[in-house]
Each structure stands twice: as structure tokens, then as C-alpha cells.
């Protein structure tokens, strides 16, 4: 089977790229290779979106909110925005919809798992479990390997149907009023409706925990908030690298998380992936096949510094998050999170960094080159 373009992985990046190419009415022969069905993808992908842009995703939005909160035992900062919404996209709805849109198009989906990619003359040969595919250009979005020993954000979340209505009126982005012995730990909660609540325990550390550990933390947090549940509706778990992802494989382009689209300091990727594949589709229309740089060098440098200051000074981590949130308006916070940061926003964020460790870390990083 010969194609112009092969996209490996029909997740966020792979299918969003395919859809952009389809909507561009490309004449190229394209294949997407993915082992799993979209309806089996259990994930809530959340991000901030400007209210004017919501309609693009309207059929896969599971929830959207004007308010979000960051708190610990003694303080709670609530942001309310009239321009940005915190939006939750249901992964399986989003991906199923794109696959439906691609039906009867010149973009083929092969339900198979890629095993190996090799170069053959000017083309790439993609060996799958049951097929062999040849393509001129390959975009690989298989999840990157996450090495032990690197800082990772790991989480487990459950959507509950509660016995009674809760009184949580904003998204809980980070509630640090939980066990902090296993790394920087917070509870994240999405109030989908009066009685439907998604609660996730997230840890930033090098070592992962057993599922039971996160589950106990979720239950303890709910007990402290007097929340009881009738049943568990669904669950999701994940691990996201907070370190740099770099794949060097000659001639094979990486996109999505594998292509460095995850923001190192926050783990958010949705917005970056959409920008990356949007620009890439434009490039392809003009016969340029390189993946655009999603994260500029300054953001990467600052995120690395931020993470290192956190690892080396865990005692200040919670205050750092709270103070940074407090120093920004809701709109500035949203723009910071989706990588639309101005000099003014950066200066406010930097002003919250503890001076001595921050300057020491910058000097170390510059010295290391
Ligand atoms: C549970 C979870 C929740 C997340 N929540 C958020 C969030 O709220 N906000 C946010 O911004 N980011 C979030 N992220 C991070 C990031 O946005 C997502 O990981 C996003 O899906 C990354 O898109 P991607 O296309 O790079 O990878 P994926 O969407 O993971 O797609 C990769 C695809 O490759 C396929 N694949 C794997 N192996 C093979 C193979 N051998 N051959 C072919 N295909 C293969 C997979 O089945 C998958 O479909 C979350 C991540 C996880 C894991």
C-alpha cells in the first residue's frame, strides 16, 4: 500500500492533522494507522478557550466553566473570566466525530499497530502487525517513552454520580489541601452537573503510585468535603512527562506529545497540539513537510527553570502556585496556560519566583548551555 502521507496514531494530534488536511481538500493519498477504536479512548482533555472559538469544538464539549480555583488549607483564589472558558473535551466524542467526517474521503484509516519504521530508497516502510505501508512522509504521534527518573505528572481520576447535589461552583484546578508526602500533590475536580463530579488525584514527582493510592486520596478528599457517591461512572489515568521530549529519527516527523507539544511546567497540551497541526497542514499545502516549532525557546527555558526550582525546593511549591495564580488576572492566567503570554504576564510570573533559587537555577542552566 503506497501513500503520500502516513500519520501514525489517531489521537488528538494524528486525527486533528488528518481533519485539517481533509478540510483543505488535499489531493494527497493519506493513511492514518491506529490500533484502537475512538470510542474506547477514556480521557477528558481540558483547556482554556476564548469564547469566540468554542463553536469549533461544540459537538465534543462535555463541560465548560467561567470560574476556576486554586487553593490550600488556608486560602482559595478564584478566577472568573468573561473572555475565556475552561473547557472539557470528551476525547472519544472528539475522535469519533473526526473519524466519521473522514469516512468516504481520500484519507484511509487502518486499524493496526505500527511495529517498526525503516527507510527504503526515498520512502519509508511502516511495518505494522498485519500490514506493510509505504509513504513519502511520516508523521508519528505514538505516545513518547517516559523514562523513570524524570519528573512526571501522574494522575488517576474518577467521575462519580453523587448521592446528593454538591456545592462546588467552580472548576477546582488545584486543591493542595491533601497528603504532600509522595511529591507535589493536588486534587483536580470538574463539576459536570449538580450530581456528576469528576475528581482526580495528581502528583508531580519522579515515582509513580499504585492506582489504589490515588483512589484512597480521592475518597479521603471527598469525605472531608462530605461528598458521598452512588456509583462510579468512568475513570481515567495518565502519565505526562514534565521533561523535554526529543526524538531524533531521520526523516520521520514527530507530532503531538511525541513532537514536544506538552507544556513542561503544566502538562497541558491540547492547545499546542491544535496550533501545531493547524500550522503543519498549512505547510503541507505549500509542499513543506517540516513540523513547526510549537514551544518557543524562551518558554521551554523558563518551564525548565520552573520545574527545577520546584524539584529542588519542594517546600515552596504550593505557595509558588498560589502566589502565581494570585498575581494574574483570570484572562492573564488563561493566556499563560495556553501559551499566549505577553511580556507583562511573564514579568508577573517571574516576580513570584523565589529570587535566590531562581537566579541560581538560571545561572546553572546558562553555564550548562
Ligand atoms: C488521561 C490523559 C488526560 C489528559 N488530559 C489533558 C488535558 O486535560 N489537557 C491537556 O492539554 N492535555 C491533557 N493530556 C495530555 C495530552 O493532551 C494528551 O495526551 C493528548 O492526547 C496528546 O495527543 P497526542 O496525539 O500526542 O497523543 P494521543 O492522543 O495519546 O494519541 C496517540 C495515539 O497513538 C496510538 N498508538 C499507540 N501505539 C501505537 C502504535 N504502535 N501504532 C499506531 N498507533 C499507536 C494511540 O492508541 C493513540 O491513539 C492528557 C493525557 C492523558 C493521558
262 shares its domain with 308: no
156: left (phi over 0), alpha (psi -120 to 50) or beta: beta
* CA 255 to ligand 1: nearest atom: 26
How many structural domains compose the chain?
A: 3
Helices (H), 286-342: 297-312, 317-327, 330-337
Please state, rounded to an integer, the average pLDDT across all residues of the chain. Answer: 92
Output the nine-digit C-alpha cell for 21: 488536511
Instruction: Dump pLDDT digits (tens) for 50-62.
Output: 999 898 898 999 9
pLDDT value of residue 121: 81
191 shares its domain with 303: no
253 shares its domain with 133: yes
Q: Please indicate, yes or no, if residue 30 is contained in any of the structural domains.
A: yes
Least confident of 12-21, 92-101, 141-150: 141-150
Residue 79 confidence class, pLDDT cut points 50, 70, 90:
very high
278 shares its domain with 353: no
- For residue 316, what are the domain limits? 297-368
Using the Cα atoms of residue 297, residue 336, residue 218 and residue 195 in order, give the sign of their dihedral. Answer: negative
Q: In this structure, are residues 43 and 236 in contact, taking their beta carbons and an 8 Å threshold?
A: yes
Output the nine-digit C-alpha cell for 221: 478528599
120 shares its domain with 258: yes
Instruction: Dump pLDDT digits (tens) for 186-233.
Output: 999 999 999 999 999 999 988 899 999 999 999 999 999 999 999 999
Taking CA 343 as the corner, what is the angle to CA 339 and CA 344, rounded to the nearest 5 degrees? 105
Q: Please indicate, yes or no, if residue 61 is contained in any of the structural domains.
A: no
Beta carbons within 10 angstroms of residue 303's beta carbon = 19
* CA 88 to ligand 1: nearest atom: 8
The radius of gyration of the chain's CA atoms, rounded to the nearest angstrom, is 21
Ligand 1 neighbours (beta carbon < 6 A): 8-14, 33-36, 43-47, 113-114, 141-143, 236, 238, 240, 256-258, 268-270, 273
Residue nearest to atom 1 of ligand 1 (CA): 238
Average pLDDT on 92-108 reads 94
Which of 32, 145, 201, 256 to mutate to test ligand 1, by most ligand atoms within 8 A of the CB atom?
A: 256
236 shares its domain with 248: no
CATH code for the domain of 192: 3.30.70
In the chain, what percentage of residues exceed pLDDT 70?
99
Q: Please indicate, yes or no, if residue 183 is contained in any of the structural domains.
A: yes
Instruction: Dump pLDDT digits (tens) for 105-164.
Output: 989 999 999 999 998 888 999 999 999 999 999 999 999 887 777 788 999 999 999 999
Instruction: Dump pLDDT digits (tens) for 232-290.
Output: 999 999 999 877 777 777 779 999 999 989 988 888 999 999 999 999 999 999 999 99
40 shares its domain with 185: no
pLDDT value of residue 158: 97
156 shares its domain with 95: no
Q: Please indicate, yes or no, if residue 83 is contained in any of the structural domains.
A: no
Q: Is the pLDDT of residue 360 over 90?
A: no
Q: Is the pLDDT of residue 369 over 70?
A: no
Q: In this structure, are residues 281 and 20 in contact, taking their beta carbons and an 8 Å threshold?
A: yes
pLDDT value of residue 139: 97
Average pLDDT on 60-71 reads 96
Query: For residue 70, how far is its CA from the centre of ligand 1 (angstroms)?
Result: 26
* CA 42 to ligand 1: nearest atom: 1
Amino acid at each position: 500500500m503506497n501513500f503520500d502521507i502516513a500519520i501514525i496514531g489517531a489521537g488528538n494530534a494524528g486525527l486533528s492533522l488528518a481533519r485539517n488536511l481533509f478540510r483543505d481538500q488535499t489531493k494527497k493519498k493519506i493513511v492514518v494507522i491506529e490500533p484502537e477504536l475512538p470510542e474506547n479512548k477514556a480521557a477528558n482533555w481540558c483547556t482554556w478557550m476564548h469564547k469566540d472559538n468554542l463553536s469549533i469544538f461544540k459537538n465534543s464539549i462535555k463541560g465548560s466553566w467561567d470560574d476556576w480555583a486554586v487553593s490550600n488549607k488556608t486560602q482559595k483564589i478564584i478566577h472568573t473570566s468573561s473572555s475565556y472558558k475552561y473547557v472539557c473535551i470528551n476525547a472519544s466524542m472528539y475522535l469519533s466525530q473526526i473519524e466519521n467526517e473522514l469516512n468516504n474521503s481520500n484519507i484511509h484509516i487502518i486499524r493496526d499497530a505500527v511495529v517498526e519504521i525503516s527507510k527504503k530508497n526515498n520512502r519509508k516502510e511502516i511495518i505494522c502487525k498485519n500490514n506493510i505501508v509505504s509513504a513519502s512522509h511520516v508523521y508519528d504521534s505514538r505516545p513518547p517513552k517516559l523514562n523513570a527518573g524524570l519528573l512526571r505528572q501522574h494522575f488517576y481520576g474518577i467521575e462519580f454520580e453523587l448521592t446528593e447535589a454538591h456545592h462546588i461552583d467552580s472548576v477546582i484546578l488545584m486543591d493542595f489541601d491533601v497528603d504532600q508526602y509522595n511529591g507535589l500533590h493536588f486534587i483536580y475536580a470538574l463539576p459536570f452537573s449538580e450530581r456528576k463530579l469528576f475528581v482526580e488525584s495528581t502528583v508531580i514527582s519522579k515515582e509513580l503510585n499504585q492506582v489504589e493510592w490515588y483512589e484512597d486520596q480521592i475518597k479521603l478528599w471527598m469525605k472531608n468535603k462530605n461528598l458521598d457517591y452512588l456509583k462510579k461512572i468512568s475513570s481515567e489515568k495518565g502519565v505526562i512527562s514534565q521533561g523535554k521530549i526529543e526524538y531524533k529519527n531521520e526523516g520521520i516527523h514527530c507530532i503531538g506529545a511525541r513532537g514536544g507539544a506538552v507544556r513542561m511546567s503544566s502538562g497541558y497540551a491540547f492547545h499546542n497540539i491544535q496550533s501545531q497541526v493547524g500550522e503543519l497542514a498549512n505547510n503541507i499545502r505549500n509542499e513543506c513537510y517540516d513540523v513547526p516549532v510549537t514551544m518557543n525557546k524562551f518558554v521551554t527555558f523558563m518551564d525548565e527553570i520552573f520545574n527545577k526550582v520546584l524539584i529542588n525546593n519542594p517546600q515552596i511549591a504550593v505557595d509558588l502556585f498560589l502566589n502565581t495564580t494570585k498575581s494574574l488576572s483570570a484572562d492573564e492566567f488563561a493566556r499563560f496556560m495556553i501559551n499566549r503570554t505577553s511580556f507583562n504576564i511573564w514579568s508577573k510570573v517571574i516576580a513570584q519566583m523565589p529570587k535566590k533559587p531562581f537566579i541560581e537555577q538560571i545561572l546553572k542552566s546558562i553555564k550548562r548551555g
